[in-house]
């Protein structure tokens, strides 16, 4: 069984429209059909020059593989605090440890990946932090990474700055909430 297959068996927290926990289901169940609304998080890091750290999702991902996204994202396990889960995934995906994370907001989105027909229906908590460290990403999670000027990305055009790949559908709201927090 591959790591991606195993991750599909993990439990996520299902939530109501306000983000209150109402139950659990597997990652696979949460992303099948229309999708089941569940708790997720997105982390966006910036460096001391104000550039944000983006990743291109690895081909092994079951949803939105090969597209540019925020620094890392994932789902807290039942009973796991969002900040703790985000710190864990930051280490697992990007090899970055000890980054202080701050939750800056949340939003709900729904999208269906045309390549896999899997759905995202997430109550997404956005966390930000600062790090000048270069990541050492897990190649099964991350195909590539770059640092980019946040102001160039706020509109989330269809193509990445280098002309390759598209952005993940959740990146726009993550960028806007992060920008509002950093530059309020």
Query: Of the listed 72, 122, 141, 156, which one is catalytic?
Result: 122
Handedness of CA 79, 4, 89, 67 (dihedral sign): negative
Tell me how far the alpha carbon of residue 120 is from its chain's centroid. Answer: 11
Residue 59 corresponds to which tokens in the numbers above?
């081909």
> How far, CA to CA in Å, does 83 sit from each of 24, 43, 102?
19, 10, 8
Q: Is 73 a catalytic residue?
A: yes
Query: Of the listed 73, 93, 141, 156, which one is catalytic?
Result: 73
Are the C-beta atoms of residues 170 and 124 closer than 8 Å to each other?
Answer: yes
**3-state percent helix, strand, coil for the chain, nearest multiple of 5:** 20, 35, 45
Alpha carbon distance 13, 37 (integer Å): 9
Q: Is 122 a catalytic residue?
A: yes
Task: Kindly list the catalytic residues.
Answer: 73, 122
């Amino acid at each position: 069984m591959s790591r991606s297959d195993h991750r599909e068996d993990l439990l996520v927290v299902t939530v109501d429209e306000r983000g209150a926990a109402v139950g659990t289901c597997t990652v696979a169940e949460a992303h099948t059909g229309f999708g089941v609304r569940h708790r997720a998080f997105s982390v966006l890091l910036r460096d001391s020059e104000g550039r944000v750290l983006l990743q291109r999702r690895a081909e092994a991902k079951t949803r939105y593989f090969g597209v540019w996204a925020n620094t890392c994202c994932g789902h807290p396990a039942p009973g796991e605090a969002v900040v703790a889960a985000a710190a864990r995934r930051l280490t697992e995906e990007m090899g970055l440890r000890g980054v202080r994370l701050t939750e800056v907001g949340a939003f709900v989105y729904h999208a269906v990946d045309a390549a896999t027909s899997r759905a995202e229906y997430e109550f997404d908590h956005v966390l930000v932090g600062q790090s000048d460290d270069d990541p050492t990403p897990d190649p099964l999670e991350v195909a590539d990474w770059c640092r980019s000027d946040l102001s160039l990305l706020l509109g989330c055009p269809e193509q990445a700055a280098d002309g390759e790949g598209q952005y993940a559908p959740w990146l726009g709201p993550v960028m806007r909430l992060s920008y509002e927090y950093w530059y309020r």
